[in-house]
Amino acid sequence: MSAKRSDWQGLLAIMRFNWPYYAVSLALVFVAVLVMVRVASLPLQILAFLFFAAACYFLFVSSAVSHWIYDRSDLYRWAWLRRALGDGESEAAIFCHSGFDEASVALQSLLQVKNWLVLDHYQPATMTEASIRRARKLFPPTADTVACSHDCWPAKDGSFDLVFGILAIHELRSEGERSAWFREARRCLRPGGRIILAEHLRDFANLLAFGPGFLHFHSRAGWRRSWVNAGCEVMDDFHVTPWVNIFILRSS
């Protein structure tokens, strides 16, 4: 994938990966309008309006927020990295994803580290969402990507300065899996190394933006339990848009 993003790349990718949801929403809008126009029953008209409103919310509000986050915000313009990286020099970095990688090429070009390792934690037996399969088919992993389990990385102890998890580690669905990921990240870091985690949270802002879809994310408390169990602590915590949190972690 090219390091340069198009103006609508994020939203168009989401639509391609989740096209059945958009098709169903459009069908609901069409059917709801027919019912409201042609059916005289007030209860049915009210029910149709509720379906119409929900479908329109998904089609327009959630899509607009997604476009803001992935195409118009600083998330993939990377200015926030200055705060995340601090003042230290970095020579080696690990980039982890869970089946869909849209950031490693850009980050590698930006950071220019001597040792760059991309790890793919995708497990088809447990990561069964059809959207991930579509994403992998449309955007296969880069040629240098190494497939490995989330809890066993091909890296020596204390050999990297940075570990990145950009909108990917939430695909590890249990706290135990996420704790294991943080333990591996901690093992691979040199003294003073950092874990840079970007994630949506299961919070009110994401509920308003994505409706029931926010349940796919994890709560702040859940994330905290995972990294504390792995022996990590937060150095910094800030937002890129109201919907994406950046956590900077180190060994505690």
Domain of 198: which CATH number?
3.40.50.150
Q: Is the domain of 243 the same as that of 122?
A: yes
- Give mean pLDDT, residues 6-13: 92
Rounded to two decimals, what is the model's pTM? 0.91
- Give mean pLDDT, residues 26-40: 92
CA neighbor of 203 nearest in space, from 222, 225, 179, 227 = 222
Pick from 72, 98, 127: which residue ends a domain? Answer: 72
CA distances to 130, 154, 172 from 124, rounded to whole Å, are 10, 20, 12
CA neighbor of 119 nearest in space, from 152, 95, 91 = 95
pLDDT-derived band at 6, boundaries 50, 70, 90: confident
CA neighbor of 71 nearest in space, from 18, 10, 14 = 10
d(CA 146, CA 164): 15
d(CA 13, CA 67): 10
CA neighbor of 156 nearest in space, from 219, 92, 227 = 92
Domain that holds residue 168: 81-251
- Position 3 scores a pLDDT of 57
- Give mean pLDDT, residues 192-204: 97
In the chain, the number of structural domains is 2
Q: Is the domain of 33 the same as that of 107?
A: no
- Position 2 scores a pLDDT of 45
Q: Is the domain of 68 the same as that of 90?
A: no
Q: Is the domain of 105 the same as that of 222?
A: yes
Which string of DSSP letters, residue by residue, matches 87-127? T----EEEEEESS--SSHHHHHHHH--SEEEEEE---TTT-
d(CA 101, CA 199): 14
φ, ψ (nearest 5 deg) of residue 169: -75, -15
How far out from the chain centre does Cα 117 lie? 19
Give SS3 for 149: coil
- What lies within 8 Å, CB to CB, of 221 at 6+ separation is none
